[in-house]
């Protein structure tokens, strides 16, 4: 597949600086650009790569001003990062979709598979399952009884959906993810052992959710664990039973959210964030990497860092103090000695 700079600019609504007839057939990072590829520049840290890159076309933000002569054709757009994503999506959508059902798949007699769906070899589909139009189910997926999958859903290899899971339109679930596994519910008994609490609920994903590889979303004890519309969850994330994640929230790898916590809309959690159970996290909350949250966050659109989580400005000031603790300790020892000498002189 090949496009000219003019075709790309027309598609993105951008302005061209350079040769509008130059064509590209592949994508490349700015530092690895080769002739025939298109790249992008949105982070000023990578500006220097522009002047040595061999990419034929580079997308740049509309306010970018070259500091040196540029040999590539530049396309100025409102947001270069967003525009490269649009181009990648366009190319991906142009790839022919697989359809049909492999004879090596097991589909229960009571299951229904929508028109245009693809069911790969060694897929298991249980009783009363409903799979929507144009869904794509890759090899070794297990879809248990009563699960409903809506249109245009993509399940990569090895996804496990426990009974009665609900998957909305255009969701993407990556390899090894498990939805609907038992929540971690055990009641202590008088003899010191633990009695398992049956988990009778399910997991619900609304439309346009993406779940990363080897992420787990636990079934609710009662009711539903709900991931609302537009949420994007990275690999290796743990979402516990009865959690609710608000619309368009993004969660990075190795984050864990304990049971019954309610996360607001448009939150952003960096890697290795830990959130205790039965909390409420306000809309627009940003949690920096390795932040631990033991209490509810009630004020919207605040940024926190550290454990326990504190406003990021306070954390940065505290970090400066922490870094200087050895010197401060020595200073205190010296002051203690001076005070002791002054006390002895006063007594004498």
The Cα–Cα gap between 251 and 261 comes to 14
Query: Which run of H or of E encompasses 263?
Result: strand 262-263
Residue 79 C-beta-side C-alpha neighbours within 13 Å: 5
* Contact (Cβ atoms closer than 8 angstroms) between residue 44 and residue 67: no
The Cα–Cα gap between 311 and 291 comes to 11
Which residues have CB under 8 Å from 78's CB, separation 6+? 13, 61, 62
| Residue 116: C-alpha distances to residues 69, 136, 137 (Å) | 51, 9, 12
| Residue 59: C-alpha distances to residues 45, 204, 221, 316 (Å) | 15, 38, 49, 35
Tokens 């054709």 found at: 73
* Contact (Cβ atoms closer than 8 angstroms) between residue 271 and residue 289: yes
The Cα–Cα gap between 112 and 200 comes to 24
For the residues of 91-149, what is the DSSP string, one character each? Answer: HHHHSPPP-EE-TTSEE-TT-EE-TT-EE-TT-EE-TT-EE-TT-EE-TT-EE-TT-EE
- On the question of a cis peptide bond just before residue 308, with omega within 30 degrees of 0, the verdict is yes
Written as six digits, the tokens of 180 are 């609907």
Catalytic one of 140, 241, 278, 280: 241
Catalytic annotation on 280? no
Strand pairing report for 210-211 and 202-205: unpaired
Catalytic annotation, residues: 241
């Amino acid at each position: 597949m090949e496009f000219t700079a003019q075709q790309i600019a027309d598609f993105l609504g951008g302005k061209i600086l350079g040769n509008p007839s130059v064509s590209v057939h592949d994508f490349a990072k700015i530092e690895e650009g080769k002739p025939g590829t298109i790249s992008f520049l949105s982070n000023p840290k990578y500006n220097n790569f522009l002047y040595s890159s061999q990419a034929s076309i580079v997308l740049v933000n509309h306010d970018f001003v070259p500091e040196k002569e540029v040999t590539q054709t530049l396309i100025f757009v409102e947001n270069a990062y967003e525009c490269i994503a649009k181009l990648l999506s366009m190319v991906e959508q142009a790839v022919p979709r697989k359809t049909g059902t492999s004879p090596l798949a097991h589909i229960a007699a009571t299951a229904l598979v929508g028109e245009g769906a693809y069911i790969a070899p060694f897929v298991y589909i249980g009783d009363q399952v409903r799979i929507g139009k144009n869904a794509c189910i890759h090899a070794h997926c297990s879809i248990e009884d009563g699960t409903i999958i809506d249109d245009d859903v993509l399940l990569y290899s090895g996804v496990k959906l426990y009974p009665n899971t609900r998957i909305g339109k255009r969701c993407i679930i990556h390899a090894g993810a498990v939805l609907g596994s038992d929540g971690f519910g055990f009641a202590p008994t008088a003899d010191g052992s633990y009695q398992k609490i049956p988990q009778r609920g399910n997991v619900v994903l609304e439309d346009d959710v993406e779940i990363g590889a080897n992420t787990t979303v636990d079934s609710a004890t009662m009711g539903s664990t709900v991931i609302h519309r537009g949420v994007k969850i990275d690999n290796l994330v743990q979402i516990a039973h009865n959690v609710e994640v608000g619309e368009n929230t993004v969660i990075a790898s190795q984050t864990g959210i304990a049971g019954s916590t309610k996360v607001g809309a448009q939150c952003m959690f960096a890697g290795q964030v830990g959130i205790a159970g039965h909390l409420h996290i306000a809309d627009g909350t940003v949690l920096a990497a390795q932040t631990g949250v033991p209490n509810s966050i009630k004020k919207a659109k605040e940024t926190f860092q550290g454990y326990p989580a504190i406003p990021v400005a306070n954390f940065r000031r505290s970090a400066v103090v922490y870094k200087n603790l050895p010197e401060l300790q020595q200073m205190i020892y010296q002051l203690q000695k001076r005070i002791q000498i002054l006390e002895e002189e006063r007594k004498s």
